[in-house]
């Protein structure tokens, strides 16, 4: 379910989807930082954009396919910590909490690593807190 261009982007920047993550999902731009990629991937989970999720996943760790459960709604993202991941870095780390409801209400905390591949950020691995 794609997000409405004029609604607030679920990634937490305060911008509308059209001003924020839509440009990445549409393929018009690549996320300039690991945090921006994390935010755009969260929004892709919220919007069911599996093609974008797979496209921004490191080929070394990417699954062959990805199926999302539409009974689970991701609605809020909190960035807890970042390390590296800037425009001139080769690697980065983003620790975050993803809030969800629906099938199960709760929060998932993850410490994710990213790397630059051919000049663009990709998600490599995530360590989910128990």
Give the pTM.
Answer: 0.94
pLDDT digits (tens, 9 = 90+) for 11-51: 999 999 999 999 999 998 999 999 999 999 999 999 999 99
Question: Edge-to-edge strand order for the sheet containing 91-102?
Answer: 72-84, 91-102, 106-117, 120-128
Domain 22-128: which CATH number of 3.10.450.50, 3.30.1540.20, 1.10.150.20, 3.30.70.600: 3.10.450.50
How sure is the predictor about 121, in pLDDT bands with cuts at 50, 70 and 90? very high
Is 105 exposed, middle or buried, given 0-12, 13-18 or 19+ CB atoms closer than 10 A? Answer: exposed
User: For the chain, what are the domain ranges?
Assistant: 22-128
Distance CA 70, CA 82 (A): 29
DSSP letter assigned to residue 37? H
| Cβ within 8 Å of residue 111, ≥6 positions away | 93, 94, 95, 126, 127, 129
Higher pLDDT, 111 or 102: 111
DSSP letter assigned to residue 54? H
Helix (H, G, I), strand (E, B) or coil at 127: strand
């Amino acid at each position: 379910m794609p997000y409405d261009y004029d609604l607030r982007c679920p990634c937490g920047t305060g911008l509308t989807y059209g001003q924020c993550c839509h440009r990445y999902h549409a393929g018009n731009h690549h996320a300039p930082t690991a945090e921006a990629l994390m935010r755009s991937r969260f929004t892709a989970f919220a919007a069911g954009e599996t093609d974008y999720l797979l496209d921004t996943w490191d080929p070394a760790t990417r699954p062959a396919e990805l199926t999302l459960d539409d009974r689970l709604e991701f609605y809020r993202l909190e960035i807890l910590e970042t390390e590296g991941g800037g425009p001139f870095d080769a690697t980065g780390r983003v620790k975050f909490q993803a809030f969800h409801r629906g099938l199960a209400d709760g929060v998932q905390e993850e410490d994710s690593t990213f790397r630059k591949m051919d000049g663009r950020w990709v998600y490599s691995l995530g360590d989910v807190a128990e």
